[in-house]
Amino acid sequence: MEYNNDSLIQFGKAIQRLIDKKDLSRQESYETFRQILLNLQPELHQGAFLAALVAKGETAQEIAGAWQAIVEFDTIPANETFEAPLVENCGTGMDALKTFNVSTAAAVVAAAGGVRMARHGARALTSMYGTVDLLEAVGVDVDADVNKVCQSIRKAGIGIFNGTSPKVHPRSLARILGQIRFGSTLNISASLAGPCRPTHALRGVYSSSLLPKMSEVMREIGYERGLIVHGLDATGEKGIDELSNMGESVICEFDSDGKETTYSINPEDVGLRRSSYEDVATLGNLRRESVRFMKVISGTGHDSCIDLTCLNAGAIFYLTGKARSIREGIERGKELVFSGRAFEKLRQWAMVQCDDEERGLRRFAAITAEAGLSV
């Protein structure tokens, strides 16, 4: 492919500005990401830009510009709207500690409690497996098109848009993300660019330094209310992009009135015992992780993982007004888990978001049996 030399020069100047630690405006970021998504620049330029932006440190305006480009040029929009609150709870990834898939478990529990969840996840990029890999293993059709996912949100109250599927992002995200194995601005901006426009979010970030920046981005692109969180282990030195039951969690909360507060909670503050990292760490194997996921959702094993799930689900209940506090939300989450309603919600999801109901249920039943449960 031949490239326009003037365009190469201008794009190169943008890269050099980032190398020189100078920020881009939202419009400049939008324009450079437009060229990346339309593949108008050599891949060397594209990779250099992404790396230079990360090395400088993204501003809220740069992230918002990237998000706008992805929405406009590489996202199939939903053909229907949903009544607020419509919630997403994906994290940025790139966190220091790798745990079981907390956000997916919390989303199922929240949906079982009547919260409408529009998730936007991906296959593994910087870890062994991601949200999409796990859900595929338990029977959800993760390659569903946008209309099918919207149907699942409407009927089951939960759906997952695959951020690396051409049925959701047809032009470039899969191409770019398939070629890199480092965290980039796309971990933030692309995760916000789902076909639906959620109004509320529990969003985990890999560093507490991102809390105010993410709050600014989310308010900039239209979120009404949000909790941006970063959890720590017992030492306070390593973190996760979730609320933590191992140590302190820092929360940045904002609402549609422009009010923003930052505070921290400890597990004891919300009625939980502290867990060790070993009790919630990834098992390093997708099949074993899927079995543990089933036991957590059904309330039949892994108490520390159940606590961590309900902590994050409790935050969603608080965020959407279904609980007066995170502590009250945790209690609601545990009732949903131990009553079997969360497990039934997962089964319903596998039945509704599917290309073949029998195949989805066979996968669900196989993991269920391996976990020692009955459908």
Name the residue ranges covered by the structural domains of the chain: 5-57, 86-349
Tell which residue, 287, 293, 325, 288, has the closest CA to residue 309: 293
Predicted local confidence at residue 173, as pLDDT: 84
pLDDT tens for each residue of 315-346: 999 999 999 999 999 999 999 999 999 999 99
Could you report the per-residue pLDDT of 181-200, keeping only the tens digit for each? Answer: 777 888 789 889 999 999 99
Q: 73 pLDDT exceeds 80?
A: yes
CB 84 within 8 A of CB 226: no
Query: Two tokens at 241?
Result: 């992009």
At 271-286, the pLDDT tens digits run 999 999 999 999 989 9
pLDDT > 70: percent of the chain: 98
Cis? peptide before 85, omega within 30° of 0: yes
CATH for 86-349?
A: 3.40.1030.10
- Six-digit token pair at 196? 């639906």
pLDDT at 128: 62
Q: Kindly provide the residue ranges of all beta strands, DSSP E only, lying in 58-113, ordered along the sequence.
A: 86-88
Q: What is this structure's pTM?
A: 0.94
Q: How far apart are CA 173 and CA 185, in angstroms?
A: 12
Query: Is 319 exposed, middle or buried (CB count within 10 Å of its CB: 0-12, 13-18, 19+)?
Result: buried
Tokens of 146: 């946008």
CA gap 249, 267 in Å, rounded:
8
Question: Which pLDDT band, with edges at 50, 70 and 90, does 127 fall under?
Answer: low
C-alpha distances out from residue 98 to 35, 250, 263, 292, 338, Å? 33, 18, 24, 15, 26
The rounded distance, in Å, linking the Cα atoms of 47 and 55 is 12
C-alpha Rg value of the chain to the nearest Å: 20
Give me the residue label for tokens 């030492």: 235
Region 353-359: what's the mean pLDDT? 85
What would the two tokens of residue 92 be? 């940025």
| DSSP-assigned letter for residue 99 | B
Instruction: Give, in words, the CATH class of 5-57.
Output: mainly alpha
314 forms bridges with which residues in the sheet?
Answer: none
What pLDDT score was predicted for residue 124?
A: 64
How many degrees, rounded to 5, is the angle at CA 20 between CA 15 and CA 24?
60
Distance CA 77, CA 83 (A): 16
